[in-house]
Structures are given as structure tokens and as C-alpha cells.
Amino acid sequence: MKKLLVSGVAALAMCAGMASANQSVLTNTKNPSVQVLQTGDYANTRYSKLNQINRHNVKNLQVAWTFSTGVLRGHEGSPLVINDTMYVHTPFPNIVYALDLNNDGAIKWKYEPKQDPDVIPVMCCDTVNRGLAFADGKIFLHQADTTLVALNADSGEVEWSVVNGDPSIGETNTATVLPVNDKVIVGISGGEFGIQGHVTAYDISSGEKVWRAYSQGPDDMLLFDPEKTTSLGKPVGENSSLDTWEGDQWKIGGGATWGWYSYDPDLNLVYYGSGNPSTWNPAQRPGDNRWSMTIFARDADTGVAKWVYQMTPHDEWDYDGINEMILTDQEIDGKERKLLTHFDRNGLGYTLDRETGELLVAEKYDPVVNWTTGVDMDPDSDTYGRPAVVAEMSTEQNGEDVNSVGICPAALGSKDQQPAAYSPRTELFYVPTNHVCMDYEPFRVSYTAGQPYVGATLAMYPAPNSHGGMGNFIAWDNIKGEIVWSLPEKFSVWSGALATAGDVVFYGTLEGYLKAVDARSGQELYKFKTPSGIIGNVMTYSHGGKQYIGILSGVGGWAGIGLAAGLVNPNDGLGAVGGYAALSNYTALGGQLTVFALPN
């Protein structure tokens, strides 16, 4: 097996030839007037060089125009802008609008896929979609039913489409995609249905599958070279995943890949995280459950993993590891390093060397995190890189059906998928967070393809003995592993942040406010209440010499699932309905784009 795998890897590398990042993406991400990726750039910094709107004049922002999407579920992600056209997406049924910025936002074309509504009950935690990507004259949409579509950006015509998964076994999609080189990188959702998570690369011109890498299984499915793929500096060894699952559990082991992807063109590595192991009942899956809850660094052309790091071995709390990997070049210990910073659901902010996978920092970015005392940072220790679990916060208490109480953070983590931003001007990260704890009671569950495979009942509530709210918006120093400032919020901050060269940071709230704060002090400079709760990501662009700020509002997502789906049982929505019951006093459903600008 080992010889076959290594020779296959070599063949893939020879076929790949010389790597070069997609030129259209590289060119466009250098132009701050446009936005072609949900992440802003390959490094996932969500930073804009535009500075017409700055900390001195942002208080004068006004609504410039609005657009109703016609869909009433959670609106995540953000629009794209290419030249004179804005591209807006919706939750299921995943409509795409092309709007003419030269003609008052008139609709140039509309794409509305015909999807089987039976996919809706298979989608965990609302029918959201995190948006489109643009490359080589195409708009890429990964639909809820896992169909990946390449649309002609000028006409909206389908150039090609391919099916990436099977909803009948629980595979769906909520994520965006990443065009890299001559490929489009896509993930899969479905960890709560016992899928086997994977990442796939499709040819950007034809839609042909180039490679697929799974989150768990044998080496040939993982695309691991057991002698060259490393974890914390050491080779992973042969079949490093199989030994950590009981029998064939890895085949229904979760490890979904529904988060964000970033890319280093110099190293030709794609970075992403895998999600929770299935089931949520840890007693049913003994072992470390590799490589769920893991950061992956993969060669973009071959898919072969260079390094991996598992953050939460044998996860007992649903601390999905899918949050974004933000790539920066910074000085640490007197040396310029290529860094990767990741704010995990488990409440720890990680800084790693993205070339080698060396672990440099692992610290709590919410003080209430109590499931662990911290990560072993001693490279010579047998437990190097592992978090030390606090026994009373384990959900595996003397078997099953024991309710573990007061666990912080809750399953939705100290931060869910809502992306952070980084400003090279301040060298700070701006992080939307959840300040929520939980009670967690596992129970035995059987696997049936296409049916929920959860096995736990949850109750969520604000972190006790704190500010009484359910969220904070923080500035984080990734070298020191410290919070620089923190702004309390009534509800979780479920919006993606945006940092700009005007030293302004923007984010949205679940009540529906767009807020602007000073990047250095955190002082609130502006707020405006949009028609519905914000779980979208703030974006900015320039048109006709004028800078604009755009945000999708439309409450939903996991935190807003009660409103989005009309649920009232406190235990529904995996515990979120009860935890966020008060949200209905502040907002209602909606689906609207609001665009802001300074007055003329």
C-alpha cells in the first residue's frame, strides 16, 4: 500500500507541472475596487486598501441603495463586484442576480436553479449559502444540492455543472468555493448525517474532477504520504487515521469541510479545516477520530497533504474545526515567519508556521472557556499539541445519558464560521465571537443513511458571571495570544468582519445593526439598523470613484434557526432555539442588501 501511494503521489506531481495561482484572481484581488472572492483575497484577511471612508468621516455614512433578494432565510456571505456588475446570491434556492451598477442596480440577468426541496431538511442549521466566487470570466456557485455550477459572468448561462455529493446520504453544501490555478476547490457539508468528509478539485474549464481528499480513512483516500505528510514536525506514519477509529466507523465519521479555504501562491498550499466526528455521542466512537477537527495544508495541484494538525482529538462537544485560516507574514521571536492564524470553535486562537505546521501559539480568546486548561506547548512532551481536558467538562461521564452542565463554549463555539478580519496597519485580528455556554447530554443513536446522526441534547445560554450578553467583538494579537480590546454584544456576533485602510472595522449584529468601530481603540463610530438580523459578511468596493459598504441582512443560521425555520421547542436547532429565544423581540425575517456611502 505504501509503495503504491508514494508512486501515485509522484505521478500526480509530475502531471501538475509548474504551479501558478489563477491569474485573474491574483490580478483582481490586487484591485481594491472589486471583490472576486468571499475571503477578499487568497490569504483570507478580509482587508481592503480603500480609505475614502475612514475613522474620521464614517459617522456620516448614509444608505445609498437597497435590493430585496425575495428569499426569507439566513443570508450569509456577501456580494461580489466585478467592474460595473454586482453579483448577489441567496440562501436556498440559491438564486444569483447580476445587477448593473451603472443603471441603479437593474437586474442584468438572474439564475434560479431547480433544486429538489427535499434537500432542505437534510441541511443542518438553516439553508444558508456563503457565496459566489469569480475567476476566468465565470461565476462559481456551489448549490445546496451539491451541484457546482460555472456561470458565464456576462450572460448567466451555465457553462458547465457537476454534482459533488449525494443529498440522499446527507451530503449537502453551504460553503463558497476557491478558484486556484486551473482548479476550483470545494468542500462538503453533512457531519450531522454521518457522511465521510472530503475536499475536491474540479477543472476550472470543464468541471472534470481532478482529485478528491477525504478527512478520514486509508492513506490513498486521505492523499497522505505517510513518510512526508507531517503532524507537528513528525511523519504521520502509515494509515494514521484508521488506527483511531473503531472498525469501519471512519466511513460515517463526519469530518465535513463546509468552512473557508485560503491559499499561499508561493507555497502552492491550500489551507482549510475539517469538522466534528460523527456521532456527537463520544462514547460511541472511542479514539482520537483522526483527521476530524484538523487543519490541513494540501498541495493545490495534487491534493497531497503536506502537514496536518488535529486541534481537538476525540471531540466531545461539536467544536468543528472549519473556521477560516488567515495567512500573514509577521515577525515572531525576531524572525519573519509565514504564519497561519485560526480561531477555532473550541475557544482557542492558534498561530502556526504555515510552511511547516509548527505550533507557535494556542491561547483562549474568550476568558470563559473552561473545557480545557490549555494546550501542551512542549515539543518534547508525549502530549505536545493536545489540549488538557477538564474532567467535569467532559461529556463522556461514566458512560452515556449523563448531562454535563456549564460547558463553555457551547457547541456553536467561541466563534462559528463568521469570518474574522486582519489589518496589516494595526497587525490585529478582528474577531466576531459567541459568549455562550451549554449543558450537553449524549444518548445512543443508530446510523441510517440520510437521517440525522447526532446523539446529543443541548441547552445553550449566555456565559454566567459575565456581561449578560451572548457575544463579544474583539481585537486579538496573534503573536502574544492576547485580547487587545473587547466590545460586549447582546447576542452572538454572527457577521463576518471587514477591516479597511481607513482604520475602520465593520461588523453586523443579530439584531440587524451594521457597526463601524475604530481599528485601534474599538470605539464605536457609527451604527445603522438594517431591516433584519445580520449574519452576512461586510464587504466594500469602489464604483465611479466612490467607496461603498455592502451588507446582506436576513436573520438565520444556527443562532437564528428558530426564527428562520419557525421552531419553538427549546431543544430544537441543536439547542439554539431556546438559547436565542429573545432574538424574536428584536428582529424578524428578511432578505435585503443594503449599500452605504458618504454623502456627495
DSSP conformational letter for 376? -
Grid cell 452572538 in the structure block, residue: 492
Contact 75, 97 (CB under 8 A): no
**Catalytic positions, written as ranges:** 318
Strands 47-48 and 138-142: unpaired
Residue ranges in the chain whose pLDDT is less than 70: 1-20, 398-401
Radius of gyration over every alpha carbon of the chain, rounded to an integer in angstroms:
22
Q: Comparing C-alpha atoms, which of 211, 214, 224 is closest to residue 300?
A: 211
The H or E element that residue 105 is part of is none
The reported pLDDT for the residue numbered 572 is 87
C-beta neighbour count of 331 within 10 angstroms: 11
Q: Comparing C-alpha atoms, which of 226, 248, 247, 243 is closest to residue 235?
A: 226
Q: Is 283 helix (H, G, I), strand (E, B) or coil?
A: helix
Q: Comparing C-alpha atoms, which of 420, 549, 416 is closest to residue 492?
A: 416
Number of domain units in the chain: 1
Question: What residues have CB less than 8 Å from 360, skipping those under 6 apart?
Answer: 332, 337, 339, 351, 352, 353
**Phi, psi (deg, nearest 5) at residue 270:** -100, 135
The reported pLDDT for the residue numbered 399 is 60
Contact 148, 188 (CB under 8 A): no
The reported pLDDT for the residue numbered 200 is 98
Dist. CA 419–CA 428, nearest whole Å = 14
The reported pLDDT for the residue numbered 194 is 97
pLDDT one-digit tens code per residue, 113-141: 999 999 999 998 899 999 999 999 999 99
Burial of 582 (0-12, 13-18, 19+ CB in 10 A): exposed
**Alpha helices per DSSP H over 157-229:** 219-222
Q: Comparing C-alpha atoms, which of 45, 66, 58, 53 is closest to residue 516?
A: 58
The reported pLDDT for the residue numbered 453 is 96
Q: Is 497 helix (H, G, I), strand (E, B) or coil?
A: coil
Strands 305-310 and 230-231: parallel
C-beta neighbour count of 54 within 10 angstroms: 16
Q: Which domain covers residue 186, as residue numbers? A: 2-13+22-597
The reported pLDDT for the residue numbered 9 is 33
Q: CATH number for the domain including 492?
A: 2.140.10.10
C-beta neighbour count of 291 within 10 angstroms: 31
Q: What angle do CA 252, 172, 560 make, to 5 degrees?
A: 110
Q: Comparing C-alpha atoms, which of 226, 277, 587 is closest to residue 442?
A: 277
Contact 183, 201 (CB under 8 A): yes
Q: Is 553 helix (H, G, I), strand (E, B) or coil?
A: strand
The reported pLDDT for the residue numbered 19 is 44
The reported pLDDT for the residue numbered 571 is 87
The H or E element that residue 362 is part of is strand 359-364
Q: Comparing C-alpha atoms, which of 101, 98, 106 is closest to residue 153?
A: 98
Q: What angle do CA 413, 376, 405 make, to 5 degrees?
A: 40
Contact 60, 53 (CB under 8 A): no
Displacement of CA 298 from its chain's centroid (Å): 17
